[in-house]
């Protein structure tokens, strides 16, 4: 029987929640404060937790945050039930690791629907059969820019989802933007576990079990590791620790996509050094091109071979951008792909946490991103037709045939 724990210092809400969920025949347990809620949760391991925010000892945000630090509760659905109605309150719920946020007073039917949806989603993620884990060496693709606002995170997320959709191969998306990464938000996933949870371990103690505890699976099939909300939470994560972690993950996945910070920090350099492919992203304004030239100069000084560097231009404004030809002439480097100006689609995808390649696969820009994922795939996969072609592969092949005509 499904076990639900309700944490609230107001006994009236114990009865209201129980009444709203009574037809579902859940096994209900109640706690009168945060500390008691933590004790009961650790003892009973409920299938879902509903917690109030304003409690006399430990707030609901703290309850969610503390439970998310424990591997046993990494995937347990948590619903925050609170009288606080502001957008900032919802963001706090998300940052604490809650899966949903519902305001008091609530409609019993809405609470029931939310609980059912959370339990169904948790069951889907728990029982979904991941692609077979292989023993090999993952293709590591990093997305980098020295200038923010160029679309690096959107590109990284869509590449990861696109690669998995093409091949159903084990794919890991890692958020290495330690100054408030956005990967989890773009997947509409909460910060259940992050890099901060392994920052305290030394490189030689990072084993598959420890590293596996911070990996979350998205409903698309992509596995991902989130960056913490606040940079101070990941201060202890070093380049050496990241390098050790990536070596472990490379034995478990076919593809690893990393969204990097807009700098050459220790962590960024470690990922760049280990990368099989560097995707540089730039807008078409002069400031972005200046940052692009600086990045290329640094890559050259680091002796990165030019064949592992691909340049993507992203038109982030409708007009007056520098042309592809002028940019190539200015930096003496070829452009692999230009993403057209499509701000509404990308903003909507970010706000709803729905990557374009999966939510709107028929949009032209989604086709470009899907084709890019194919282009970056392993040669052995690109050269032969899969035994059971995916819908994504069939779309790519159809576009290829049309271009050949």
Task: Tell me the pLDDT tens digit for each residue of 52-77.
Answer: 998 988 999 999 989 987 878 878 99
Q: Where is the domain boundary, 127, 152, 170?
A: 127
Over residues 83-91, the mean pLDDT reads: 74
User: How many Å apart are CA 41 and CA 54, to the nearest integer?
Assistant: 18
184 vs 153: CA distance, rounded Å: 10
- The reply to whether 309 falls in a domain is yes
**Co-location of 208 and 255 in the same domain:** yes
> How confident is the model at residue 95, as a pLDDT?
78
The better pLDDT of the pair 339, 201 is held by: 339
Q: What pTM was computed for the model?
A: 0.76
Regarding whether 193 and 77 lie in a shared domain, the answer is no
Q: Which of 96, 127, 158 is the last residue of a domain?
A: 127
What share of the chain in percent tops pLDDT 90? Answer: 63
pLDDT, tens digit, 9 for 90 and up, residues 292-336: 999 999 999 999 999 999 999 999 888 888 999 999 999 999 999
Q: What is residue 134's predicted lDDT score, i.e. its pLDDT?
A: 47
| 167-187 residue pLDDT tens | 999 999 999 998 777 898 899
Is there a domain that residue 133 lies in? no
**Is residue 393 one of the residues assigned to a domain?**
yes
Tell me which of 17-31, 153-167, 225-239, 379-393 is least confident: 225-239
In a shared domain, residues 165 and 105? no
For 96-153, the DSSP string reads: HT-SEEEESS--HHHHHHHHHHHHHHHHHHHH--PPPP-SS--EEEEEE-SSTTSSHH
State whether 275 and 305 are in the same domain: yes
Instruction: Answer yes or no: do 328 and 395 share one domain.
Output: yes
Q: Do residues 167 and 75 both lie within one domain?
A: no
Q: Select from 71, 94, 127 the last residue of a domain.
A: 127
pLDDT at 86 over 80: no
Q: How far apart are CA 355 and CA 196, in angstroms?
A: 25
pLDDT at 131: 44
Q: Is residue 134 part of a domain?
A: no
Residue 255 is predicted with a pLDDT of 97
Q: What is the CATH classification number for the domain harbouring 255?
A: 3.40.50.300
Q: How wide is the angle at C-alpha 34 spanned by C-alphas 33 and 38, nearest 5°?
A: 120
- pLDDT at residue 127, as a whole number: 59
**158 pLDDT exceeds 80?**
yes
Q: Are 103 and 151 in a shared domain?
A: no
Sheet containing 48-51: which strands, arranged edge to edge? 27-31, 3-7, 48-51, 78-82, 100-103
Do 195 and 228 reside in the same domain of the chain? yes
Write out the residue range of the structural domain in which residue 18 sits: 3-127
Give pLDDT, residue 125: 65
Domain-embedded: residue 194: yes
Residue 312 belongs to a domain? yes
- Is there a domain that residue 132 lies in? no
Nearest CA to 66 out of 57, 56, 58 is that of 58
Identify whether residues 175 and 104 lie together within a single domain.
no
Please report, for the domain that includes residue 42, its CATH number. 3.40.50.2300
94-138 residue pLDDT tens? 778 888 888 888 899 999 999 998 998 888 766 554 444 444 589
DSSP one-letter string for 147-205: STTSSHHHHHHHHHHHHHHHH---EEEEEE--SS--HHHHTT---SSBGGGTTTS-GGG
**164 and 294 inside one domain:** yes
Please check whether residues 178 and 76 belong to one and the same domain: no
How far is it, in rounded angstroms, from Cα 21 to Cα 36?
22
Q: What does pLDDT average to over the chain?
A: 90
Number of domains in the chain: 2
Q: Is residue 219 in a domain?
A: yes
Q: Token pair of 360, please?
A: 């709107």
Answer yes or no: is pLDDT of 380 > 70: yes
138 or 197: whose pLDDT is higher? 138
Claim to verify: residue 161 and residue 256 sit in the same structural domain: yes
Identify the pLDDT of residue 1. 87
Taking the C-alpha atoms of residue 69 and residue 97, their distance in angstroms, rounded to an integer, is 9
């Amino acid at each position: 029987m499904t076990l639900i724990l309700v944490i609230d210092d107001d006994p009236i809400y114990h009865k209201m929640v129980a009444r709203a969920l009574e037809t579902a025949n859940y096994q209900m347990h109640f706690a009168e404060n945060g500390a008691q809620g933590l004790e009961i949760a650790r003892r009973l391991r409920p299938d879902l937790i509903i917690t109030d925010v304003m409690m006399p000892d430990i707030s609901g945000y703290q309850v969610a945050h503390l439970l998310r630090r424990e591997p046993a509760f990494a995937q347990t659905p948590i619903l925050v039930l609170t009288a606080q109605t502001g957008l900032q309150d919802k963001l706090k719920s998300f940052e604490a690791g809650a899966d949903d946020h519902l305001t008091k007073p609530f409609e019993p039917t809405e609470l029931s629907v939310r609980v059912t949806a959370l339990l169904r989603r948790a069951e889907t993620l728990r029982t979904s059969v991941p692609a077979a884990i292989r023993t090999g060496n993952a293709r590591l693709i990093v997305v980098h820019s020295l200038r923010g606002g160029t679309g690096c995170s959107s590109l990284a997320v869509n590449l990861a989802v696109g690669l998995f959709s093409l091949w159903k191969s084990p794919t890991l998306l890692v958020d290495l933007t330690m100054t408030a990464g956005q990967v989890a938000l773009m997947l509409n996933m909460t910060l259940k576990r992050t890099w901060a949870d392994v920052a305290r371990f030394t490189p030689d103690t990072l084993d598959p079990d420890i590293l596996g505890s911070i990996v979350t699976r998205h409903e698309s099939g992509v596995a991902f590791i989130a960056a913490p909300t606040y940079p101070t939470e990941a201060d202890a994560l070093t380049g050496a620790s990241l390098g050790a972690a990536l070596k472990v993950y490379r034995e478990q996945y076919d593809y690893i996509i990393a969204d990097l910070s807009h700098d050459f920090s220790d962590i960024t350099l470690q990922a760049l050094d280990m990368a099989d492919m560097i995707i540089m992203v730039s807008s078409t304004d002069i400031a972005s091109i200046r940052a692009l030239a600086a990045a290329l100069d640094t890559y050259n000084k680091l002796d990165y071979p030019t064949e592992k560097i691909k340049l993507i231009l992203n038109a982030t404004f409708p007009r007056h951008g520098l042309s592809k030809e002028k940019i190539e002439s200015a930096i003496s480097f070829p452009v692999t792909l230009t993403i057209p100006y499509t701000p509404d689609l990308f903003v909507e995808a970010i706000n709803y946490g729905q990557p374009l390649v999966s939510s709107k696969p028929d949009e032209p820009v989604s086709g470009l991103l899907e084709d890019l994922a194919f282009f970056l795939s392993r040669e052995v996969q690109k050269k032969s037709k899969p035994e059971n072609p995916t819908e994504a592969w069939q779309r790519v092949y159809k576009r290829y045939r049309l271009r050949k005509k």
